[in-house]
Amino acid sequence: MTRPTRRRFLQITALAAAGPMIVRPSVVSAAADGTPAPSNRITIGFIGPGKQGMGHIGPISKRKDVTILGVCDVQQSKRERARDTIEKSSAAAAKEPPKPKNANPNASAPWDSTTSSGGASGTDPKAVKYYNDFRELLARPDIDTVLIATPDHWHAIQAAAAVRAGKDVYCEKPLTLTIGEAKELIRVVRQYGRVFQVGSQQRSAREFRFACEMIRNGRIGELKTVTTTVGGPAKECDLPAETIREGVDWDLWVGPAPMQPFNKILCPGPEFDGFPHWRAYRDFSGGQLTDWGAHHFDITQWALGMDHSGPTHIIPPTPERNWLTFRYENGVELYQGKPGGGPGIVFEGTQGKIEVGRGVLKTSPDKIMRVNTTPSEIHLYNSPGHHEDFFRSVRERKDPICTVEVGAHSATVCHLGNIAYWLGRPLKWNPKTWQFEGDEEANRWIDRPYRAPWTM
């Protein structure tokens, strides 16, 4: 820490007096033609350019209103791949025709941005710097925002550090590894007044918003059940030790988790182009229950109007009922793994049914599809695309569609399911106190210790 100049002190004082959302000069103005000058573009750093992270870097590197300044990863090969992608995407952006001015891509591609093509991008590939340690990237005062797409066990620590460093954050789902992290991250984000978007991009897709609006407005009567299939829980890591691959900082990859020997299953080489299987092991993730559950349980929470709450009873599979059950206070039951779930989510009410998935929307009766909401009915947040929504929120200093509270409570549903699986018995949860009722053994799973020297 250094002492600020008088000018900087006055700037900080003025910003603090303006309100909880702190505004940077680089995010508030644009040129007359709508193209921000270099000094007015939002600057961003990426932490974790893996399979998911590269899906963000490509389109964002084409944007004219965003400048990429840094990329961080503990693997040299991923840093190099990110560099190559930024160079190619920036070059391609200059050759693309501009999109229609009023284009709204959220009907089919929820990540798309309305300012992502047409003319030179806002990023100069030669100016992007690459880091092994995320703390070096966060220390840069010229970076306004960060996008975090690291393995799940890093999300909460890195997001909290970014917020404390004065950055606005886009963090991938599931937002946290534990329930305790979810509760604490809400507190930190609100204390520091940052814009925070969770990467549950299904909320920015038209079919999911439509389905949730229909349910919230009673188009299928009283909602009774929700059925989906997202996959099972995480397990203990039992992988054998292998020689650490050159160019990998394994100690930093493991970070706050218990030390495990290197294995390419956890950290595959550059020839691998899929999603790594660290998701299967509970030191690093919550299995498919958090990977896909963070998507479909999130939409269920939205449809139920439970973004700041959650289920009260969790019942693991039994020989008689071979599926996980979440029961909400209003009597609605959410089934994971019960036959009839389909490729997405099936909502069944007293007067109809809605099935929704990525690119899938079916209603019974059919007429539900043809009835629009009226002005007096519930209208849910209509996102212009998950990236676009984040950057607009940064400029306007407002909450985006998927806030830290939304991500924290959706992740908590996933963690509740995992704990029920691991303990093998029904659990009673109080969403107001963030505690299991009368169950100290279950409460010990709410949080986990970090490997030194890491803290949140």
Residue 157 shares a structural domain with residue 225: no
6 domain residue, yes or no: no
Q: What is the CATH number of the domain that holds 154?
A: 3.40.50.720
In 218-232, which positions are buried (b, 16+ CB within 10 angstroms) versus exposed (e)?
ebbeebebbbbbbeb
How high is the pLDDT of residue 199?
A: 98
How high is the pLDDT of residue 107?
A: 45
Residue 80 shares a structural domain with residue 151: yes
How high is the pLDDT of residue 29?
A: 47
Where does the pLDDT of residue 64 fall: very low under 50, low under 70, confident under 90, or very high at 90 and above?
Answer: very high
How high is the pLDDT of residue 34?
A: 54
Mean per-residue pLDDT, 4-10? 40
Question: Which amino acid is it at 107?
Answer: A
Instruction: Count the domains in the chain.
Output: 2
How high is the pLDDT of residue 422?
A: 97
Where does the pLDDT of residue 117 fall: very low under 50, low under 70, confident under 90, or very high at 90 and above?
Answer: low
How high is the pLDDT of residue 122?
A: 92
Residue 438 shares a structural domain with residue 298: yes
How high is the pLDDT of residue 9?
A: 39
| Strand ranges inside 176-323, DSSP E | 196-198, 223-228, 313-315
321 domain residue, yes or no: yes
382 domain residue, yes or no: yes
Helices marked H in 25-75 — which ranges? 51-60
255 domain residue, yes or no: no
Q: What is the CATH number of the domain that holds 348?
A: 3.30.360.10
How high is the pLDDT of residue 2?
A: 36
Chain mean pLDDT for the chain: 90
261 domain residue, yes or no: no
Q: Which residues contact 404 (CB under 8 A, 6 or more apart)?
A: 175, 185, 186, 189, 190, 196, 198
Q: Residue 326: in which H helix or E strand, if any?
A: strand 324-327
Where does the pLDDT of residue 247 fall: very low under 50, low under 70, confident under 90, or very high at 90 and above?
Answer: very high
253 domain residue, yes or no: no
Residue 312 shares a structural domain with residue 402: yes
Residue 151 shares a structural domain with residue 226: no
Which SS3 state, helix, strand or coil, does residue 58 take? helix
Contact 109, 116 (CB under 8 A): no
Higher pLDDT, 6 or 181: 181
- Compute the distance between CA of residue 435 and CA of residue 294 in angstroms, rounded to an integer: 20
How high is the pLDDT of residue 97?
A: 72
Residue 162 shares a structural domain with residue 220: no
Residue 171 shares a structural domain with residue 212: no
Mean per-residue pLDDT, 388-406? 98
How high is the pLDDT of residue 186?
A: 98
How high is the pLDDT of residue 12?
A: 39
Using the 3D structure, point to which of 203, 223, 243 is the last residue of a domain.
203
Q: How many residues does the chain have?
A: 456
Residue 27 shares a structural domain with residue 160: yes
Mean per-residue pLDDT, 393-398? 98
Mean per-residue pLDDT, 215-224? 97
* Residues 135-157: tens digit of each pLDDT: 999 999 999 999 999 999 999 99
* Residues 274-320: tens digit of each pLDDT: 999 999 999 999 999 999 999 999 999 999 999 999 999 999 999 99
134 domain residue, yes or no: yes
Residue 144 shares a structural domain with residue 226: no
Using the 3D structure, point to which of 203, 221, 255 is the last residue of a domain.
203
pLDDT > 90: what percent of the chain?
82
pLDDT > 70: what percent of the chain?
87
Residue 41 shares a structural domain with residue 187: yes
* Residues 364-377: tens digit of each pLDDT: 999 998 888 899 99
Residue 214 shares a structural domain with residue 86: no
Where does the pLDDT of residue 6 fall: very low under 50, low under 70, confident under 90, or very high at 90 and above?
Answer: very low
254 domain residue, yes or no: no
Residue 402 shares a structural domain with residue 358: yes
Mean per-residue pLDDT, 166-187? 98
How high is the pLDDT of residue 33?
A: 45
Q: Write the CA distances from 62 to 53, 58, 94, 148, 377, integer angstroms.
A: 15, 7, 8, 19, 38
* Residues 76-111: tens digit of each pLDDT: 999 999 999 999 988 887 777 766 655 554 544 565
How high is the pLDDT of residue 103?
A: 53
Give the domain extent around 58.
19-203
Q: Which residues contact 352 (CB under 8 A, 6 or more apart)?
A: 219, 220, 221, 363, 364, 365, 368
